Amino acid sequence: MKANLYTADGTKKGSVDLNALVFEAKVNLDLMHRAVVMRLANARNPIAHTLTRGEVSYSTKKMFRQKGTGNARRGARSTNILRGGGVTHGPRNDRNFAKMMPKKERRAALFSSLSARAKDEKVIVMEGFKAKAPKTKDFMTLLSKLPEAKQYLFVLSGKDEVFEKSCRNIPGVKTILANYLNPFDVLKSDKICFLGDALAKVEETFLTHK
């Protein structure tokens, strides 16, 4: 599998070989789906919250005597069958939505998503970024020379303050460190650009060499 190679100024230079273990893995839709669901579930912040009958601000005094009134037997007004009373089995803000996947499955899902993107020719490689100071205008000029895409994911081998500040205000552009690469961001992006030594960093991080 090959990917187009671009220079630091956005000129197409040729192509590079992609590691078959990472970019030619079996595309497993089930694993990718589970990885995306896990990411969304772990980011979920429960807000909805109802009060039980023990938490509502009502007196626990019996509303009327047990017999002789002709009414149904009734206890405290905080009961769940009266308006203003507690809620039974309602949503609580302490609910845990977290999900987990084994390490091998997470890596398989990542390789599967990268392989799917590479197969669709959505993966490119850029030699670097030559700007010495953060400037959005210079980055926009560079971006206009690269293949067009609504969502761009730039994968960096390490922290690059100049690059990150140059593109952080541009809609549809996201940067991520190679060791934090995940199926959710890969599948969400229309184009994935590996900057500098990012490909080597991905192999170093996610491939286990015995």
Is the model's pLDDT at 134 over the cut of 70?
A: yes
- Report if residue 33 sits inside a domain: no
Q: In this predicted model, what pLDDT tens digit does every residue of 179-202 receive, in sequence order?
A: 999 999 999 999 999 998 999 999
> What local confidence, expressed as pLDDT, does residue 209 receive?
59
The set of residues, in sequence order, having a beta carbon less than 8 Å from that of 49 and lying 6+ positions away, is 91, 92, 93
Quote the pLDDT of residue 210: 46
- Average pLDDT of the residues in 43-52: 94
For residues 161 and 10, the answer to whether their CB atoms sit within 8 Å is no
Structure-token match 């490909």, residue found: 199
Residue 40 token pair: 């969304």
The answer to whether residues 202 and 178 belong to one domain is yes
Residue 138 falls within a domain, yes or no? yes
Split into its structural domains, the chain has a count of 2
DSSP string of 164-204?
HHHHTTSTTEEEEEGGG--HHHHHH-SEEEEETTHHHHHHH
Q: Are residues 90 and 117 in the same domain?
A: no
pLDDT at 100 over 90: yes
pLDDT in tens, 49-88: 999 999 999 888 899 999 999 998 889 999 998 888 999 9
Domain that holds residue 75: 45-96
End of a domain among 59, 74, 96?
96
CATH number of the domain bearing residue 197? 3.40.1370.10
My answer on whether 84 and 110 are in the same domain is: no
133 within some domain? yes
Sorted by sequence, the CB contacts under 8 Å of residue 158 that are 6+ apart come out as 177, 201
- Of 75, 96, 117, the last residue of a domain is 96
Q: Are residues 199 and 123 in the same domain?
A: yes
Shared domain for 202 and 122, answered yes or no, is yes
Using one digit for the tens of pLDDT, what is the confidence trace for 152-167?
999 999 998 999 999 9
- Residue 37 placed within a domain: no
